[in-house]
Structure 1
Amino acid sequence: MLALHHSNSSSSPLIPRSSNGSRGEAVPGVALEMSQRGNLTASAVMVVVLPMTLGIVSNIVALFILANAYWLQRRRSKATFLLYATSLVVTDFMGHVIPGALVLKLYLSGGVQPEDSSASDGMCQFLGGSMVFFGLCPLFLGCAMAAERCLGVTKPLLHSSLVTSTRTKMCLSAIWLAALCVALLPYLQLGSYTYQDPGTWCFIQVLSDIHEADVAFVLLFSGLGLSSLAAAVVCNTISGLTLVLARIRRKPGSHHSAKSHDIEMVVQLVGITVTSCICWCPLLIVGLMSAIRSYTGSIGEDLPNYKILLVMGVRLATWNQILDPWVYILLRRTVLRKIYLIAKCQAGQGGNLFGCLDSTSPTESEKNEVNQA
C-alpha cells in the first residue's frame, strides 16, 4: 500500500472569462487552468511515487542484511527469529509493489468517479483484497514473532524442543493462508470491496450501503488486527520483564552472551510492535466505527469527516511497511554499540563528533561494557 492522494478536474477552480464574454480572450485562462491541473497531477503522483520508492529501497536493504545474517547465524533461536523477520520484510516489499502499482495506475487514469464505480470492478476487488491481505500479514507475523520470543525467553527448554525450522515454515504458511482466506471472503458474499473517496483506491465497504455482511467483515478484519497487536504487546511485555529480572538476579562475572541475543531480539520486537500500533490502530478503529455508524444510520453529517479519517488512516498504515525494515536495521547490536560508543566518546571529548568517529572501533572490554548496558 502507499500514500493516497488525488487531484482531478474538479480540484482546480475554473478561471472566469472576461466580462465581454469573448471566447478568444478565454483561451489564456483555460490554458492556465490546464497548466495548473497538470502541475497538481504531477505533484500528486510524486507524493505517491516517493513513499513507494522509499519503502521498496528500505525493504531491499533490510532483506539483504537479514539474508546475510540468517546464513551466518547458527543459533536456532536467532535463526528462527531471522526467518520470521525475513518473511515480514518480504511481505512488506510485496505490499508496496502490488497494491502500489494498481493505485498508481488509477492515479494516472484520473481515478474512478462514483457513477463509474463498476467500470473496473475486477481491479477494485483485487486491490481491496491485496490491501486486506498485506495489512493482516504483518500484524500476524509480528504477533507470531512476539509469541515465539516469549516462549524462548520464559521456557527455553520447551522452546528448543518445540520450535524447529520446519515448524516455523509451517507457521508462516498458515499465517499467509489465514490472511488470504480473510481477503477472499468478499468473493463468498461476506463483505465487499468498493472504491473509496477520491476514487483512487479500494477497501472494505464501510461508508455507504452497509449490510450485515459488511459489518461482520469489518469486525473480523479490525478484530483480528487489534487482537494481534494486543497479543504482541502482552508477549513482549512478558519477555521484557523476564529479561530484566534475569539481569537483576545475574551474579557478577557470570556468562551472559546468550541473554544479549535475547535482548536484541526483544528490543527489535518492541520497536516493530510500537510501530505497528501507531500505524495501524487508527485505520482499524476508524474503519470499524465508520461501518457501525453507517449501518445504524447515525453517521449523518459526519460522513465527510469519516472519509477524511479513513484516507488519513490508510496513509498512516502505509508507513508501517516503510518503517518496519528500519526498525530491524537500526536496532541491531552492531548499530546500537556504535551509537553507544559515539555518545560515550562525545561525552568524554566535549562533543567532538569527528574525533569520535575515528576512534569507535570497539575493544573486547568495550563490547562487554555495551552488553552490560
Structure 2
Amino acid sequence: MLALSHFNCSGSPLLPYISNDSGGKVEAKVAVEGLLHHGNLTLLQPTTSGVIVVILSMTLGIISNIVALFILVNAYSLQRRRTKATFLLFATSLVVTDFIGHLIPGALVLRLYLSGGVHPEDFNSSDRMCQFLGGCMVFFGLCPLFMGCAMAAERCLGVTKPLLHSSLVTKTRTKICLCVIWLAALCVALLPCLQLGSYTYQDPGTWCFIKVLSDTAELDVAFVALFSGLGLTSLTVSLVCNTISGLTLVLYRLRRQPGSHHSAKSHDIEMVVQLVGIMVTSCICWSPLLIFGLMCVIHSYTQSIGEDLTGYKTLLVMGVRLATWNQILDPWVYILLRRTVLRKIYLITKCQSGLRANMISRWEPSFHSSEKNEVNRV
C-alpha cells in the first residue's frame, strides 16, 4: 500500500544555494522565510491524521490478506478434486504475492512519508531505495495481472475442454507456471539494472516509478510501453477467457436436464465467479495507472506536455493510489465470493421470493371468496 503525501508549490520552486558556512545558512533561512511569507512556497509537513490513515489502510490490507490466505489454505488442504486444487494453488500464490507486495512497498513509502519525502529538485536522482521501490512497484504490479490471466486461461480450458485439461494441467506444471510468472515479472523489473529504462522519484516525492514525466529517453518510452502493454494484454486475455467460461456455464445450465447431477459444475461456477471478481478488481485498479503512465511518457518524450504537467502528475498519483487498492480488494473476492456465502445469499433470496409467493397465494383465495360473497348478495 502506498501512502502519497502532497507538495503544494506555487511560483518558483527553486531555493537559493546553501553554503556550508553559517552566513550561507542564515541567508538561505531568510530567503525561505520570505518565500513562505509571500505565499510562494509551502513546505511539506507530515500530519498525524495522514500517518494514521496510512497505518489503518496498511492494517486493513494485512488483515484481509491473512484472512483470505487462511481460507484458501484450509480449502486447499480439504480439496480432493484436482481441478479445484489447481485453482486454489493459483489463488493462494496470488494472495501471498499481494500480501508481500502490500507490506514491503508500503513500509518503504511510509518511511519516506514520515521523513518528509524527497525534495522536487532531487526527483531525477535515484538512490538504492528508489531503485528497489520502483522495482517492487513493477514486480508486484505485473505478478497479479499475470496470475489472473493464467487462472482465467486455466479455467477456460477446464470448462470448455475438461478432458484436455485433465491431461495437461497438473500440480507440478502449475508450480512451474507460477515460477515462470514470478521470473518473468522479475526480469521486467530488473531491466533498469541493465540500463534499459530507469526509476525515479515521483511527485510528491514519496514513491518511485518508471521515469515518465521529465528527461525521458527512448529506453524509458520502451520500458513503459512494455510494462503497460504486458498489463493491458493480461487484462484483455482474462476478459476473453472469463467471458468464454461464463457463456459456456450458462449454456450448460440452460441445457441441463432437471434432476441431473451438477456438483462438478457448481465448483466451476464458484471459480468463474471469483475470477470475474478478480478481473473486475484488476481492471478498475490497474487500468488507470497503465494508461496514464503510457500517456505521460509519450507526451513527455514528444515534449507536448507544456502547461499540462500538473494535470499529468495528478493523473499519475490517482493511478497509483487506485493500483494500491488492488492488494486490499483482491482478498475480499475469496472471502465474499465463496460457494458457502453464495449459497446463503441464494437461499435468502429464494426464501424472500417464497414468502412473497405465499403472501400472494394467501391473498388470492380471500379475494375469490369475497367475490363469491358479493355475487350471492346480489
TM range (shorter): 0.7 to 0.9
How far is 1:341 from its partner? Answer: 2.1
Deviation at 1:246, TM superposition (A): 1.1
1:129 aligns with 2:143: no
Q: Give TM-score, length-normalised by structure 1.
A: 0.84
Amino acid at match of 1:285: I
Is 1:274 aligned to 2:274, yes or no? no
Task: Name the count of aligned residue pairs.
Answer: 326
Aligned 8 A contact 2:197 2:219 in 1? yes
| Mapped contact 2:73–2:92 kept (Cα < 8 A) | yes
8 Å CA contact 1:124, 1:194 repeated in 2: yes
**Map of 2:70 onto structure 1:** 64
Other-structure match for 2:315: 309
Q: Which string of whole-angstrom CA distances, capped at 9 and with x for unpartnered residues, describes residues 326-369 of structure 1? A: 0111011100111222333345568xxxxxxxxxxxxxxxxxxx
Equivalent of 2:165 in 159, 162, 165: 159
**Residues in 2 aligned to 1:49 and 1:341: alpha-carbon distance in whole angstroms:** 38
2:373 match: none
Matching of residue 198 in structure 1 with residue 207 in structure 2: no
Question: Residue 265 of structure 1 aligns with which residue?
Answer: 271
| Distance (whole Å) between structure 2 residues aligned to residue 249 and residue 141 of structure 1 | 32
Equivalent residue number for residue 5 of structure 2: 5
Q: Which residue of 2 aligns with 1:148?
A: 154
Residue 103 of structure 1: CA displacement? 0.2
C-alpha distance in structure 1 between counterparts of 2:267 and 2:201, whole Å? 46
Does 2:80 match 1:74?
yes
Are residues 1:283 and 2:250 paired?
Answer: no
AA matched with 2:161: K
Deviation at 1:115, TM superposition (A): 2.3
Q: How many angstroms apart in 1 are the aligned matches of 2:9 and 2:237? A: 46
Give the whole-Å Cα distance in 1 for the aligned partners of 2:85 and 2:65.
19
**Letter paired with 2:128:** G
The answer for the alignment partner of 1:294 in structure 2 is 300
Report the Cα offset of residue 2 of structure 1.
2.4
TM-score computed with the length of structure 2 as normaliser:
0.83
- Which residue does 2:178 correspond to in 1? 172
Q: Which has the larger radius of gyration?
A: 2
Q: CA deviation at 1:164?
A: 0.4
1:5/1:48 contact within 8 Å kept: no
1:211 aligns with 2:217: yes
C-alpha separation between the residues in 2 aligned to 1:344 and 1:291? 52
Q: Secondary structure at the match of 2:47?
A: helix
Quote how far apart the aligned CAs of 1:304 are.
Answer: 0.2
After superposing the two structures, state which structure 1 stretch, 230-239 or 247-256, moved more: 247-256
Which residue in the other structure is 1:102 paired with?
A: 108
Q: Does 1:247 align with 2:253?
A: yes
AA at the equivalent of 2:135: G
Q: 45-54 or 205-214, which moves further after superposition?
A: 45-54
SS at match of 2:343: helix
- Cα deviation for residue 8 of structure 1 reads 8.3
Quickly say closer, same or farther: Cα 1:43–1:8, change in 2 above 3 A.
Answer: farther
In the TM superposition, what whole-angstrom CA distance separates every residue of 1:85-116 from its partner, at most 9, and x where no partner exists?
Answer: 00000000001111011001101110011223
SS state at 2:200 partner: strand
For residues 202 and 175 of structure 1, what CA distance do their matches in structure 2 show? 23
Whether the 8 Å CA contact 1:111–1:200 is kept in 2: the answer is yes
Answer yes or no: is the 8 Å Cα contact 1:146–1:232 preserved in 2. yes
Structure 1 residue 5 displacement after superposition: 2.5
- Counterpart residue type for residue 259 of structure 2: G
Other-structure match for 1:318: 324
Unaligned runs of 5+ in 1: 11-29, 31-35, 351-373
